[in-house]
Amino acid sequence: MLLRTLSLGAMLALAPALLAQTPEERGLAIAVEGDARDQGYVDSTANMKMILRNRAGKESVRNVRIKSLEVEGDGDKSLSIFDEPADVKGTTSLTWSHSDKPDEQWLYLPALKRVKRISSKNKSGPFMGSEFAFEDIGSQEVDKYTYKYLRDEEINSVPTFVVERYPTDKNSGYKKQVVWIEQDRYLALKIEFYDRKDSLLKTLEASDFTQYLDKFWRAAKLEMTNHQSGKSTTLEFSGYQFQTGLKSSDFSKNALKKQK
């Protein structure tokens, strides 16, 4: 990515982070600014290819449709509908993210014709066999963490803020996360996930960002590497559409069984 000269507006946008006095205040200010820049997308749909790799590098591929709904005053709602291969076809995941309490998540299993609720104690478990945990797929609301600014650092010549964040949910599988946030667009380029023993567990890298509606940035590629298991998962996104008319009823528990 090319480093762009900051405009006056961009420098003013940085002001809250630059004026904050403590590392904790500055870390929170950076998170708040990043969240504010993604407000107002209303809803979105996209196609996702999930590529699972085992330690030996053998791949399996799943094709998924993604739907998201912005919820004012709370976390977003999202649906993941698996279309291929045949053994997962029709499996649907529903997430109601929250800012001040644990996310609510359900999984519809067509073979059993039933909806399974994901316990809040099992959010650290793998999502559909991937290296993404259930807690990774919900929207990352500011209040889900406390923060600490660590330093400025460049990634591929791009200036970033490095911020440590600590999950407030006692059932989180992580003790902390270290996030590299691009200073210009406030995009998370890299996240390191540390397990409850404070050992590096996974690294997420985001790339190939595209801007939609002249405001909203989305990565076309997410790469999650598990350093402890040697496995990895790549998510490739395409066909983004925004403000498609989705409603809250499209994200109800009853809607889980009706996805086609």
Residue 5: its pLDDT value, please? 41
- Each domain of the chain, given as residue ranges in start order, spans 8-258
Residue 121: its pLDDT value, please? 80
- Whole-number average pLDDT of the chain: 90
Does domain 8-258 fall into CATH 3.40.50.970?
no
| 221-252 pLDDT per residue, tens | 999 999 999 999 999 999 999 999 999 999 99
Q: Other C-beta atoms within 10 Å of 141: how many?
A: 17
- Close Cβ partners of 256 (under 8 Å, ≥ 6 residues apart): 79, 92, 94, 106, 108, 115
| 18-46 pLDDT per residue, tens | 554 799 999 999 999 999 999 999 999 99
What predicted TM-score, i.e. pTM, was given to this entire model? 0.89
* Residue linked to tokens 């709602």: 77
Tokens of 193: 């996930």
Residue 19: its pLDDT value, please? 55
Q: Does 149 have pLDDT greater than 50? A: yes
| Reported confidence tier of residue 2, pLDDT bands at 50, 70, 90 | very low
What's the residue count for the chain?
260
DSSP SS3 for 240: strand
| 103-131 pLDDT per residue, tens | 999 999 988 888 999 987 888 889 999 99
Residue 1: its pLDDT value, please? 35
Q: Does 8 have pLDDT greater than 70? A: no
| 45-101 pLDDT per residue, tens | 999 999 999 999 999 999 999 999 999 888 999 999 999 999 999 999 999 999 888
- Close Cβ partners of 106 (under 8 Å, ≥ 6 residues apart): 93, 94, 115, 116, 117, 118, 253, 256
Residue 85: its pLDDT value, please? 94
Tokens of 24: 């904790």
